[in-house]
Structure 1
Amino acid sequence: MSLSHLRVYDWPAPDGVGRAGSGSPHLHTVSAEAYVVLSGRGAVHTLGPGGFAEQPLGPGDVVRFDPGVVHRAVNDGDLEVLVVMGNAGLPEAGDAILTFPADVLADPAAYRAAALLPGPGATDDELAAAARRRRDLALEGYAELLAAATRVGPAEALRPLHEAAARLVRPYVPHWQDRWTRTVLHETDATAGALEKLVRGVAGHLATARVSTARPDPAPRRYGMCGRLQTWPLG
C-alpha cells in the first residue's frame, strides 16, 4: 500500500462545487483507494457503473472506491485526508487517469501534455498554475461525462473513458507488473507461506520479525490530483 496526507485544493471550481474548492476528477485503473478524513469538511463525488453518488466527509469518516470509479474530492473547509492506496506505489507510477475531454483522451501526446506538471526548476507559482489548469480541464471532461450518464446511463457513459484509460496506461503495464511482483505479490506469497506453517503448528517465521519506521518525505508537498500531498517512503 501507499500512504499520503492530502490537503484538498482550496481553489474555487469553475462549476461552483465546494464552498472552498475541489480537486480533479479522475480514476485509477488497478488500484483501490480509501479516504480517512482527519479534519475539515467536504465530500467525495463518485461516478461508477452504479451511478453518481455524493458522500459527505467529516473527521473519522472513511470511504473506499474501486478501480474504474471516477472520484472528486470536494472541499467545504480545511479538508484534510489520509489517503490509503493499494498496490505499493502504482498510483504514483501513472495509475491515474484524469477525466479530460474526449479529444484529449483520444490522443496520448495531448493527454501527457495536459497531465504533466512543469519539471525541475519550476517555481511553486508555476506548478500551482499548471495544476489548476489541469484540474479545470478535467472538470470540462467531467461535465461531459455526467451529461452522458444522464442520457445513456452511467455504465455506457463510462465505457469510452475506461477504454481510453486502458490505452493510455498500456505502455506502463510491464513496469507495473515487475513492481507488483517484487512488492505486493512477494508479501502475498509470504502470507501464504506463513499460513501453511501455522496450520502445521510451525511458527519459525515469527523469529525473523522486525520493526520498520518511515519519516515523511522532506520535500515540499507535491501537487496531486486533488490537493497538496505529503508522502511516506514505504518501500
Structure 2
Amino acid sequence: MKINSTVILTLILLILMLGSGSVSAFLGFNLGSSALKGVTTPDGRPTSKFASAKSNSSQSGAVTLLKEEDILKTVKARIEGKAKTAQSDKLAEDDEDINGNKQQQKEKTQKVVEEKPQPGFPITSESQGVTFAVQSARYSGGDLLLKVKMQNKGADSVRFLYSFLDVTDDKGRTLSASTEGLPAELPANGSSFSGTVSIPTALLDDVKKVSLSLTDYPDQKLKLDVANIPVDKRD
C-alpha cells in the first residue's frame, strides 16, 4: 500500500512537471512570436538585390529620349526667333537713324530760313541759264567761308570740276581754296544746290575783296564770274 501511494505521487509530480513545462513552452512561444512581429528575414540572393536596385533606379531617374525631328524643330524655332529679334533691333536702329537725320535736316532748314541775309549779298553770276551766287562770307575756324548756291535752269545738264575754280584777291593774286557740298553735275531745269568755298584766313591779311571764276567741264562753254566779294569785315 505504501509503494502504490509513492508511485501515484511520483506520477502526479511527473504530470505536473510536464504540464508546467508545456505551459511554459507555450507562453514562451507566444511571447517570442509577438516580439518578432514585423521583422523579416533579409533576402540574401544577389540577383534579387540587383533586380530591386535596377527597378528603383529606373523608377527614380527615368530618361525620356527625344525624337530627332522634335530637336530639329526646336533648334530651328530658336534660330528663327533670334533672327527675328535681330531684324527687329536693326529696323528699330534704322528708324532711329532716319528720324535723327530728319530732325537734323529740319533744324538745318529752319536755321537757313531764320538766318538773315548778310548786307551786300547775294552776289550772282549767270551764264546760259546757270546761276552761281555767293550768299554770304564769314570767318570761322581759321577759314573764310563763302556760302554758295548753284542752279541750272537751262535745257541741258552741266558738269563742273571744282579743282578748276579760280580764286583771286583784289591785288590779282591767286588763292588756294577748297569746296564742299557743291554738285559735280547740275541737272537741267533742276533745283538749287548749296555748298561752301573755304579760303585759309592766313592768305587774307591785307585782302578786302576776292573773286571767283568757274567754267563747265570739259566743254567750257559757259563761264561764271563772281567778282568783288567783300571779305574785310571779320566776325
Q: Structure 1-normalised TM-score?
A: 0.23
Structure with more contact order per residue of length (Cα contacts < 8 Å, sep ≥ 6): 1
Greater radius of gyration (CA): 2
- Normalised TM-score (structure 2): 0.23
